[in-house]
Amino acid sequence: MGGRTSSLARAKPFASLLASLPAVEIAGNREVVVAGIAYDSRRVARGDAFICVRGEKADGHDFIAEAVERGAVALVVEAGRAVGVKPPPGGAIAFVPDSRGAMASIARAFYDDPSSRLVLVGVTGTNGKTTTALMLDAIFRGAGCQTGVIGTLEYRIGARRMKPAHTTPEAVDLQGLLAEMVAQGATHAAMEVSSHALALHRVDGCQFAAAVFTNLTPEHLDFHADMDDYRETKARLFEEEQFMPQGRHRVNAINLDDAAGRAIAARARGRTLTYAIESAADCRAEDIELTAEGTRFDVSLPDGRQRIEMKLVGLFNVYNALGALAASIGLGIEPAAAAAALAQMAPVHGRFERVPARCRCVVVDYAHSPDGLAKALETARQLTRRRVIVVFGCGGDRDPTKRPVMGEIASRLADRCIVTSDNPRSERPEAIIEQIVGGIPPADRHRCAIEPDRAKAIAAAIREADPEDLVLIAGKGHEDYQIFADRTIHFDDCAVAEAAIREIESGAHA
């Protein structure tokens, strides 16, 4: 991963990689053979095509000379951004309107369109993508399929695991992963599809046999113009021809309890199976039982009912299971087989994950948006008869408008709040915390404490908790790092909580 791939594809003439692109001008040797594709000049190897992509911090057009020096034989540049640049010796240069869009098409051609040889399922929405994708993977494996997963927690091909750089990788890396899945015998793949991936053309040209829409709540408004833009970006996965499987039927699983889901369902192409708890839907959860040990419910289906019992907790996981169930049924998997797979599935790391403790209930969750925090706190409230204590912060260099909103939610739904740092990045932790506290009504601030040091905040919450209280540590979930302006340190909420619990419990039993 990380800017170059080549090993799973045969070298190809440059012109053949551009054949499906409109408005391309090629100068130089059109038939020069390309051995690999790179979008990071530092990763260029001899015989590569270098695609000049504009990023947040750098522009590939500024590194053309370095790429050629490293052995690039072909260049892909945006028209008007590389005036006077000549083809590499014996090579070629292609001028395209949009290099990001071109990169997706080139990568797809280089890897021989691997998604066409997979049952690829894309999961999009604000919350629930990771768990829903992993539920789908469990169902596919339970049905005897060879699988792959691409998402926030990991990229996985069979038993091989890779640490992800993005929820959805860049187009070159993505097509390389899909090609490796095919080469390793995978038949099915579940992939989280972020709004960034759709907007930045990372998944362009992928053929999705099925797509799941989970929900839409305010998030990433530092990237999207507004909620309408955010929704329409997500909707592309369900509407555009380029994402439809060629020669196969498309299946959509869409949450009807979500307003954006209802709008997308009305426009989606292919067969749609809706799911819901509150609304009438094709797959509807009924008789829901939520406990600290797991979840049980019945699903009303078009052809009968299915009992679901699983170790995952919380109403949000009922929705996740419904999405995975609807998509898998649409792909031909029997409901009973899907239910059996969900029953065996272990809790997902960092997603309402219980930290081992003898006499305390401590939970770590990735909730980092207003809706995610609200759902996590509502679930916590259902699982304890006593107090809910929450530790949380907000990330720096991200949408600041959600900070006071999350402060208000925490103060309203928890009995005690400890506001701390998340990943402050280039911002001062104290400034972020001040914005969070600004959303807490003055009358409730006596129930809130401030501790910028996240480890100290976690330890304080656990020390304060009585045996029947529930401590929710929110915001970072599976992440094992903390990013500051001048450094990144190792930091794992689960490990920090376990250490605090051991210290407290060893003292109690000394």
- Taking alpha carbons only, the member of 224, 222, 200 closest to residue 398 is 222
Contacts (Cβ under 8 Å, ≥6 apart) of 228: none
Indicate if 418 and 467 belong to the same structural domain: yes
CATH number of residue 286's parent domain: 3.40.1190.10
Q: Are residues 177 and 225 in the same domain?
A: yes
- How far, in Å, CA of 335 to CA of 298, rounded? 12
Same domain assignment for residues 73 and 169? no
> In this structure, which amino acid lies at residue 217?
T
Paired strand residues for 361: 470
Residue 63 CA: distances (Å) to CA of 49, 50, 60, 84, 169? 13, 10, 5, 14, 22
Note whether 110 and 9 are within 8 A (CB).
yes
Res 206: pLDDT: 97
Q: What is the CATH number of the domain that holds 81?
A: 3.40.1390.10
User: Cα angle at 135 between 195 and 353, to 5 degrees?
Assistant: 90
Q: Of 134, 135, 139, 165, whose CA–CA distance to 149 is shortest?
A: 134
| Residues 311 and 440 occupy one common structural domain | no
Asked if residue 160 and residue 24 are part of one domain, the reply reads: no
- Domain boundary among the residues 110, 126, 156 is at 110
DSSP states of 72-136: --EEEEETTSSTTPPPPTT-EEEEES-HHHHHHHHHHHHTT-GGGGSEEEEEESSSSHHHHHHHH
Contact 295, 310 (CB under 8 A): yes
Element (H, E) at 230: helix 227-239
Cα distance between residue 215 and residue 375, in whole Å: 12
Q: Are 249 and 211 in contact (CB under 8 A)?
A: no
- Residue 56: what pLDDT? 76
Rounded to an integer, what distance in angstroms lies between the CA atom of residue 118 and that of residue 121? 9
Quickly tell me which residue has 């996590």 as its tokens. Answer: 376
- Measure Cα distances from 442 to 181, 405, 415, 417, 436 in Å: 54, 14, 15, 14, 13
- The DSSP code for 185 is T
Can you give the pLDDT at residue 7? Answer: 54
> Do the Cβ atoms of 123 and 129 come closer than 8 Å?
yes
SS3 content of the chain, % helix, strand, coil (to 5): 35, 25, 40
Position 510 scores a pLDDT of 46
The domain total for the chain is 3
Where a domain ends, among 344, 367, 399? 344
State the pLDDT at residue 82.
Answer: 76
pLDDT in tens, the chain (510 residues): 555 555 556 799 999 999 999 889 999 999 999 999 999 999 999 999 999 998 878 899 999 999 999 999 999 999 888 778 899 999 999 999 999 999 999 999 999 999 999 999 999 999 999 999 999 999 999 999 999 999 999 999 988 999 988 889 999 999 999 999 999 999 999 999 999 999 999 999 899 999 999 999 877 767 777 888 999 999 999 999 999 999 999 999 999 999 999 999 999 999 999 999 999 999 999 999 999 889 999 999 999 999 999 999 999 999 999 999 999 999 999 999 999 999 999 999 999 999 987 768 999 999 999 999 999 999 999 999 899 999 999 999 999 999 999 999 999 999 999 999 999 999 999 999 999 999 999 999 999 999 999 999 999 999 999 989 999 999 999 999 999 999 999 999 999 999 999 988 877 544
The answer to whether residues 249 and 317 belong to one domain is yes
Q: In terms of domains, do 58 and 163 share one?
A: no
Q: Do 238 and 339 sit in the same domain of this protein? A: yes
Sign for the pseudo-dihedral over CA of 222, 226, 231, 235: negative
Q: What is the distance between the alpha carbons of residues 435 and 508, in angstroms, rounded to a whole number?
A: 37
Output Rg (C-alpha) for the chain, integer angstroms: 24
Rounded distance between C-alpha atoms, residue 112 and residue 104, angstroms: 12
Q: What is the pLDDT of residue 224?
A: 73
Instruction: Give SS3 for 139.
Output: helix
Crossing angle of helices 370-383 and 402-413, in 10° steps, is 10
Residues 451 and 468 reside in one and the same domain = yes
Residue 300 three-state SS: strand
Choosing from 110, 143, 175, the residue where a domain stops is 110
The single-letter code of the amino acid at 403 is R
123 and 72 in one domain?
no
Q: What is the pLDDT of residue 175?
A: 96
Burial of 350 (0-12, 13-18, 19+ CB in 10 A): buried
Count CB neighbours of 200 within 10 A. Answer: 21
How far apart, in whole angstroms, are the C-alpha atoms of residue 322 and residue 342? Answer: 11
Q: Which domain holds residue 332?
A: 114-344
Entry pTM: 0.90
Q: Cα–Cα distances in Å, from 494 out to 99, 262, 389?
A: 41, 37, 16
- How high is the pLDDT of residue 24? 92
Q: Domain containing 397 — which CATH number?
A: 3.90.190.20
Please indicate, yes or no, whether residues 294 and 357 belong to a single structural domain of this protein. no
Do 297 and 219 share a structural domain? Answer: yes
